[in-house]
Structure 1
Amino acid sequence: MRDTVNSRISLDLKALPAGPGVYLYRDAAGRVIYVGKAASLRNRVRSYFLPGSQHPPKIRSMIEKISDLEVIVTDTEVEALILEQNLIKEHRPRYNAYLKDDKSYPYIKVTLGEDFPRVMLTRRHVKDGSRYFGPYTRAGAVHETLSLLRKIFPFRTCKQKEPPLRERPCLNYHIKRCSGPCCGLVDREKYRAVINEVILFLEGRQEDLIRNLAARMEEAAANLEFEKAARLRDQLQAVREVVEKQKIISGGFEDQDVAAVAREGDEAWVAVFFIRGGKLIGREQFVLKGTEGLSGADVIAAFIKQYYTGAEFVPAEILLPEEAGEEKAVIEKWLSEKRGARVLLKVPRRGEKKKLVDLAAKNALLALEQARLEEAARRDDEAEALAGLARELGLEGPPGRVECYDVSNTQGAYSVASMVVFEEGRPAAGQYRRFKIRTVEGPNDFASIQEVLRRRFARAREERELLAAGRIGSRQAKFHRLPDLVIVDGGKGQLSAARQAMRELGFSHIPAFGLAKEEELLFAESRPEPIALPADSPALRLVQCLRDEAHRFALAYHRNLRGKAGLRSLLDEVEGIGEVRRRALLKAFGSVAEIEKATPEQLAAVKGMNKKAARAVYEFFHGQGGK
């Protein structure tokens, strides 16, 4: 820890409020490096800077980097907890523990805001009146569940918010996989009854579902509706088959989640069992990053806060291997408010519940060991790929840093390029760069590649000179690191343009190759014949990954620019929508097409929008205000 605290922090410490809230630490570059919550901001924040305080190495490292402090006062500690989790998800601070890949976890979404709701996979959890189930860690598990649901329940799978009007129903109706709302073959009330059964299934309340189906089957039979009774019988049998496969965990009918942790280095693997009505209905495994130096209680607390922030359902009990530390009481209060009934965090010492926690711990350890094996295999494959690439291309050694470039445009419009970076054989996404083509008119890939390589290496030369003179630090430099290998997407023409730019700037010593799009042949200036990497070799797979990633990154930027231009030209015509709201809409929905699909409620929920502006946008796209 530093002997002194900078004067700005000292002033902030003197003015700290005594009540609950959230605090953010920033480094010299203004980046948020830690987010925390406290029942007393004054006591908690000052504890970091007390003379003689003994902190773990990770905390000492963080304190040395703190350059600025921000506090946000809340009314209650529960509000502080919720805000803390939202800020961690937004900023991904270096010194916080956070769920790996939590931004892309899939959910099952039931669109209850629609007259004829859909059931689908989504990766966006928004407050739009829908029911969400999850999060899941594997999209495959979601697809399997959706496939099973479609076999049991006849709900629509068309993508429109309202079923398109048809004269004749689609194939799904004829094979009993849809009830035909598009043709008026089912009314809203009966369709909703099907959706309610889907929700019962997803909630794990299969026994309630079985009773409902059995009662409806008997009623249909009594009314001599034998075809309907037969269909309900088939549904009933399918649900019973699912229930029979579920392991009975408890003789009672508790709703419980069971979580346990296995740790290694800076990561923790968390296994979670989901028990509904005394039956194990599912399990998931999560990875929590940034856990080095944290106590077991802190890891447990971090996982619970982050997982249940995104979870739709909270059970009455959460069984754990150890207490959640000093945060237990506020976490229980928060979860109870979220559930609408009392929630307890329990650490069982004996009996069936202890066995469940032990079983979850074994699963967490198994996940950790599996991850070790996969990582070892991945490293072997990457090493073989780099060695093979060096061998086939005649490089001096395995290329530790490879850069791949691609250009994307539409008939020369919105022309952009990407630079993707792989280090030691795997993507280094934080070092990807994108370029807007400035000097080229029309569709000219050769000139575009030359411009991009010229800009990239001109920046490299400039930054390396500034670094050598001590005028900038390495954190300010974005292009100073040089590649061991350059690959441009294209043939001899693109390669020649790239090499010319590199020669002009004094970087001709860096090996560069062109990659033909279809044949997957590599071209070098010094070789008359192209190089074909061995089929199915790790080296070829690496080159394909580089090319695909460069193409994806360039195309995403191109579509982003094209979408912004389209949004601007369309929304300029909408009264009350200026530049700020235009940008907010694009950030929230991503494209004009998604804005067009949005409901007035979804539009009004966007930051900076109100009901009047939302209605204007909605009516513009739906024929009452323009288009």
Structure 2
Amino acid sequence: MFDIQEELKKLPDKPGVYIMKDANGIVIYVGKAVVLKNRVRQYFHQSANHPPKVQAMVAKISEFEYIITDSEVEALMLECNLIKKYKPKYNILLKDDKHYPYIKVTMNEEYPRILKTRRVEKDGAKYFGPYSSGFAVNDAIDTLKKLFPIKTCNRKLPNDIGKFRPCLNYHLKKCLGPCQGEVNKNEYHEMMRKICSFLSGQYDEILNDLKAQMEEAAEQLEFEKAAQIRNKISSMTQLSEKQKVLSTDGQDRDVIGFSRDATDLCIQVFFVRNGRVIGREHYIFEGEGDEEIGYSLSTFIKQFYNNVQFIPSEIVIQNEIEDSETISQWLTEKRGHKVSIRVPVRGELVRLVKMVSQNAEVSLKLFKDRLKRVDNVNEEGINQLMKLLELEQRPRRIEAYDISNTGSSEIVASMVVFIDGKPARQEYRKFKMKSVEQQNDYASMQETLYRRLSRAKKEKEENIEKPKFSDLPDLILVDGGFGHVSAAQQIADEFEYRLVIAGMAKDSRHRTKSLVYNGKEYELSAYMPLLRLITEIQDETHRVAVDYNRTLRAKRYTHSELDEIEGVGETRKKALLKHFKSLAAIKKADIAQLMEVQGINEKVAIKIYNYFRNK
């Protein structure tokens, strides 16, 4: 029998890796530590304020083991390999460990070629990339083949010179024909050097050379040749424009930014080579939105660079990470040259990080939009809701309520309706408090529900043809905890309605955390479809309440003395101000002058005149 408390006492004060297992012996988490004794014990401290995900993990730990290493860098390397091996449930997992494509120029050969590859080797060839897709590489190689008459076959030169007939590319003048021994090796290498310069982002030399050739051909009246060179210039310009210029220092770097919401995290990487973006990639981590971002970025960087073939000299990140020095040392050893990790605070790099973060935000939104288009997503959330709260019937109609106020003014409430897991905006309602004059969320919630339920009762008693409140909810969700649920339940009991009422509770960062129901709090981190559904409902309810509050505030701040005059509405007020230009001029006008304004008759003119004279 594994005694956790006894085993904690045996932990050494050395660096290493710890492996957490559940009751079935399955690895559920792998982590590294500078001091194993301190790090592992933190998980089991009674007073530890762990996030929900860590709490859920600790509850499932039945045993643990550890491996001592000589240094933190060794621990980091071992951690990466073990995560890749076991794919633990509670680690942030980089599901996509694909090898990105590169363009390889075989400068180690006497007659170099241009190839697509997914492996970077120390073989004397030059590599350019990574590119975000094989299509992007193929497109670039095809364009280069049109621009330069390069060798594309696999014949081994100079051994095979003169042994074969020239291919079709030779006759079409798409290859210089080094297999026929007609090409000077130095001249061929010079052409390949220009191609490498082009792939490095140095376009000016080649473009200027082509323009000079085009002008020379035109002067010699070789217009067909000039047109061909012109087409090459156009192709080269288009290819160069596909690579966005981000900086002028020409350095290789990866720029990493992120965006997250209550449930999910998106990390975006821009590959910058020689100051130009040649590719980008984003990764969605479902259920990791509430994780500490420094930990998430650190975990991502370790897994990402454990797989890639090329590591740049600089990695620019949006947020500080705890073990940046250790990761930098590990990457330096892996690359063979210095690798720095930095969080910019000013200058051009801050703008780059912001741009990457904005792209991550767009990618996360597109991911969420795709989820919403899948019909069974909210269906699964509702099924989890029924099971978690042990509801007797399926909550087809869900009504959610939230309160918004500005101190003692503009106290409002929103009623948002979801039917079959989807927002029914035509059913939304907004309330402005009538009896509550001071900030009191409980009293405001009670007034709102009282008015809503009394309207339902009245509509049924009077048999109104087009009722707006008669359809009672299968579930009421209130924004808040136990106190809000209790306040709402009192009103339901008063009307003798058997309504299911639950509270939507948030964490310290105002993110949806749990449901409060029947005196219990239900953590949602283990129920991702349900968490997404409740988050969507809570955010929508909050948005409607805040928007209504802002609308009322805007009206109050634009309030005019004209609003106090009977018969002067918004249209007549605008007409008066447009005609007289100012309120002071309206006050001085007589009845005849007031009647000159469109929409102002004698009766209204007299009321306006008397109002200001009496005042």
The normalised TM-score by structure 1 is 0.48
TM-score, normalised to structure 2, is 0.49
Largest Rg, 1 or 2: 2
